[in-house]
């Protein structure tokens, strides 16, 4: 809790295919799906098979902004927050003044700087029959009939 009150955001530079963002980051979430953890739908329109990374960036530099971000994410109103931006990219780099921890699937794998690139359709994925179509760009019925390309 005390860290929240002291946290001023971390000066960082995030570069996507089309933009460079130089700001104080509170959180950056890179995904190809909608959820971060089980609760936060950071990228509500993300598609797991569209070949694009969705990058949710929360900026700010005071503890009230951090609290507002947490509440906004929890009640799914973060997309209306002027300090939240969602970027779509095939590659990105992130560097920060102070090294930030980098997590992959809830495991810390290192610290910034980091470069990430998506390689479309490399993995074969088994999808449950009842998987919601809204999570995918491709028609699941078509994929099940004809198989992965």
Task: Decide if 131 is inside a domain.
Answer: no
Task: Decide if 18 is inside a domain.
Answer: yes
CATH number at residue 103: 2.60.200.40
Task: Decide if 76 is inside a domain.
Answer: yes
Per-residue pLDDT in tens (0 to 9) along the chain, 149 residues:
445 555 667 889 999 999 999 988 877 777 776 555 566 666 677 777 778 888 888 876 666 666 665 666 666 665 667 777 888 899 999 999 989 888 877 788 899 999 999 888 787 877 777 777 766 777 766 665 444 44
Task: Decide if 133 is inside a domain.
Answer: no
Peptide bond just before 113 cis, omega within 30 deg: yes
Whether 112 contacts 96, CB under 8 Å: yes
- Domain interval for residue 61: 2-118
Domain count, the chain: 1
pTM summary value: 0.67
């Amino acid at each position: 809790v005390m860290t929240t009150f002291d946290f001023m955001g971390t000066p960082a530079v995030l570069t996507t295919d089309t933009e460079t963002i130089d700001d104080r980051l509170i959180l950056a979430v890179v995904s190809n799906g909608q959820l971060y953890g089980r609760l936060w739908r950071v990228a509500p329109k993300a598609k797991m098979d569209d070949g694009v990374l969705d990058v949710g960036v929360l900026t700010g530099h005071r503890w009230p902004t951090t609290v507002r971000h947490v509440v906004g994410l929890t009640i799914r109103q973060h997309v209306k927050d002027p300090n939240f931006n969602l970027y779509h990219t095939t590659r990105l780099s992130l560097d920060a003044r102070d090294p930030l921890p980098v997590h992959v699937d809830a495991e810390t794998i290192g610290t910034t700087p980091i470069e990430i690139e998506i390689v479309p359709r490399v993995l074969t994925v088994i999808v449950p029959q009842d998987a919601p179509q809204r999570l995918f760009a491709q028609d699941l019925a078509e994929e099940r009939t004809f198989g992965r390309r």
